[in-house]
Structure 1
Amino acid sequence: MRAIWKGAVSFGLVNVPIRLYSATENHDVQFRQVHREDGGRIKYQRVCSIDGEIVSYDDIAKGYETEDGEMVVLTDEDFKELPAASSKEISVEKFVPADQIDPMYYDKSYYLEPDKASTKPYLLLRDALEKENRVAVVTVSIRTRMTMAVLRVHDGVIVMQTMLWPDEIRKPDFATLGDDAKATKQELAMADLLIEQLAGEFEPDDYEDDYAAALESLVKAKVEGGEVRTAPEAKEESGEVVDLLAALKRSVDKAKASRGETETAKPVAKKTTARSGAEKATTAKKTAAKKASKKAS
């Protein structure tokens, strides 16, 4: 694993230098959008919705859309004025009972590894959290933004779990679940019996992502059966030429409009059918033959 952040845990007068590692990884299957005919990857362009022009990265800014649909464009200077923190300290605010925090607040998980010189205070904090069955509520700045988090122990390692802010937790409001909606005693007794029949211990290894496994087998079978396509890499110049021609076409239209002319330039074809070398050679020969025939006559 590669450390994504370096800092220190601070509680009281104790300072524990640590390194932060992502504790989880996403195994969702990732697909690419491709052309069905030849397997070529589909590319997208950054086009302005107002003038239709292609926009470079240097001209792209962050915009905030208001509720009435208006757009507020924010500059780099605007962001510099916002409260931001660059501290490398994980500051413990308080120690609370582990069952006091609703799991809904938990977001991402990270492992904390101590420096060799700080192993003893790290173990002290770890053992104290386990002994008291508490978690440490902390504040930490990751990528310049301050967030809440908790420190708890998992498999002998201190784990930091970032938390959502209270206003990020939605409140459920379902009309069908009013105060008068309750199960009867008979229904509750049957539910208790069902729960008792299915009671057990949670074993994560008992569960498997069968979709990912089946998809992996499917792809492997296609590869072994030769059902693969090697699409040639698209030349970078081709896209730029098309963009340039499109820009020239718009320029011609604007120039004609400024002179009061209504005729527009012929649109540039976005995609042409490539002819084989033999077809091109045949066409060239026919053209040369026609020219020779005209000169002879």
Structure 2
Amino acid sequence: MRTIWKGALTFGLVNVPVKVYSATEDHDVSLHQVHGADGGRIRYKRVCEVCGETVAFTDIDRAYQDEAQTVVLTKDDLDALPSERSREIDVVEFVPTDQIDLLTLDKPYYLEPDGSSPKAYVLLRKTLEATDRTAIVRFTLRQKTRLAALRVRGDVLVLQTLLWADEVREADFPALQEDVKISDKELELSATLVEGFSADFDPAAFVDEYQVELRTLIEAKIEAGEGFEAADAFAPTEERGGEVIDLMEALRASVERSRAARAGSGEDAERDAV
């Protein structure tokens, strides 16, 4: 697996350097457009709508546009944003695992401990298991601030990005507002049908039949001498992460700070009541 991000997972004063890897991979056959007569790739020129000239990729910036104007944002502008320089995964809070709505779960990533000792990493993992909690975290990846759930999968910490609340649509279907009557017999028969299809889920038992057939078709064409040679290369990039501080000292300091904050909140509440 290729490292896509390096940084530090932080909660309280505890700092856990980690490497981030994509936990999933796409096995779909990649197809692109070509000239059927000779197999040549069909490519699209980046043409400016104002001057009509072809623009080099290095000269292309991003922009925000409304009805009145276009505001150009250069790479330097975007690099200057504080969130884009952050190399930390900050724990915001620990919540009961059953409070995480599965609908909000998005892209999963594996976290690997990055340091001389995995003790802080293992401690956090065991703590999440023992308390049945999921950590809600914030971090920045690919120029975007993200909310994510940090949970345990076997011996590994998994970071799974979450959709923001306003990205989840409300399901408002008039048909579901009707008073539908279900008889006991209908429910019993339906439960019997479910029982007949019941099994332990084995993901490996399912395959993408379309992709299998597509690969078979491609292999047949190659054997028939209909293939064209082509190659693309992609260069991976890596960045440095953080360092571990004394674990016990960080834990004690974090607990003391949390207690002090709670005590202060209690005193404020008493003053407000008076």
> What TM-score results when the alignment is normalised by the length of structure 2?
0.74
Quote the residue 2:178 is aligned against. 180
How far apart in 2 are the matches of 1:96 and 1:123? 19
Spell out the pairing of 1:102-121 with structure 2 (5 A cutoff): 102-121=101-120
* Secondary structure, counterpart of 2:175 in structure 1: coil
Q: CA RMSD in A?
A: 2.4
Quote the residue 1:42 is aligned against. 42
Quote the residue 1:95 is aligned against. 94
Q: How many aligned residue pairs are there? A: 228
Change (3 A) 1:187 1:49: farther
Structure with more relative contact order (C-alpha pairs < 8 Å, separation 6 or more)? 2
How far apart in 2 are the matches of 1:42 and 1:124? 53
* Secondary structure, counterpart of 1:99 in structure 2: helix
Is 1:5 matched with 2:8?
Answer: no
Checking the alignment, whether the CA contact within 8 Å between 1:16 and 1:118 is kept in structure 2 is: no
Checking the alignment, whether the CA contact within 8 Å between 2:78 and 2:84 is kept in structure 1 is: no
Change (3 A) 1:80 1:205: closer
Change (3 A) 1:193 1:85: same
* Secondary structure, counterpart of 2:147 in structure 1: strand
* Secondary structure, counterpart of 1:42 in structure 2: coil
Change (3 A) 1:81 1:125: closer
Change (3 A) 1:81 1:223: closer
Quote the residue 2:53 is aligned against. 53
- Identical columns (%): 47
Shift of 1:159: 0.7
Checking the alignment, whether the CA contact within 8 Å between 2:79 and 2:85 is kept in structure 1 is: no
Shift of 1:113: 0.8
Change (3 A) 1:93 1:229: closer
Quote the residue 1:262 is aligned against. none
Quote the residue 1:216 is aligned against. 215
Change (3 A) 1:56 1:203: same
Q: After TM superposition, what 4+ stretches of structure 1 lie above 6 angstroms from structure 2?
A: none
Deviation string for 1:128-152 (max 9, x for gaps)? 2112222111111223432211111
Checking the alignment, whether the CA contact within 8 Å between 2:29 and 2:215 is kept in structure 1 is: no
One-letter identity of the residue aligned with 2:38: D
Shift of 1:219: 1.1
Spell out the pairing of 1:6-21 with structure 2 (5 A cutoff): 6-21=6-21
Quote the residue 1:75 is aligned against. 73
> What TM-score results when the alignment is normalised by the length of structure 1?
0.69
How far apart in 1 are the matches of 2:73 and 2:56? 16
Shift of 1:79: 4.2
Deviation string for 1:69-113 (max 9, x for gaps)? 555232327646756342222222221111111011111111111
- Structure 2, unmatched stretches of 5+, are 231-274
Quote the residue 1:270 is aligned against. none
- Structure 1, unmatched stretches of 5+, are 232-297
Structure 1 or 2, whichever has the larger Rg, is 1
Shift of 1:226: 1.7
Quote the residue 2:190 is aligned against. 191
Quote the residue 1:130 is aligned against. 129
Change (3 A) 1:70 1:188: farther
Change (3 A) 1:144 1:134: same
Quote the residue 1:63 is aligned against. 63
Deviation string for 1:114-172 (max 9, x for gaps)? 13423111111111211222211111122343221111111210111111111111222
